[in-house]
Amino acid sequence: MPKMKTKSGVKKRFSVTGTGKIKSTQAGKRHGMSKRTKGQIRNQRGTTVMPECDAGIVRQFIPYGLK
């Protein structure tokens, strides 16, 4: 059988932690920052761990995990 390919969009946007959780950037930071509160902008810095209900969808596109 041929190897399954990883979706190229997934490998650019997500990473896997050492314990196997999916890490992604925070949502809601692309545009319209003047409408957001300062606290919301601060809290959306960096990355976050995805909830398991959403992480299962992402795992379908990374058959062998990411490095």
Detail the DSSP E strand segments found in 3-57.
14-16, 22-25, 47-49
pLDDT surpassing 80 at residue 61: yes
State the architecture of 1-27+34-67 in CATH terms.
Answer: Irregular (4.10)
Query: Which pLDDT score, from 0 to 100, does residue 26 have?
Result: 96
Given pLDDT bands bounded at 50, 70 and 90, which one contains residue 67?
Answer: confident
Given pLDDT bands bounded at 50, 70 and 90, which one contains residue 66?
Answer: confident
pTM of the model: 0.83
pLDDT surpassing 80 at residue 46: yes
CB 58 within 8 A of CB 8: no
Domain ranges of the chain: 1-27+34-67
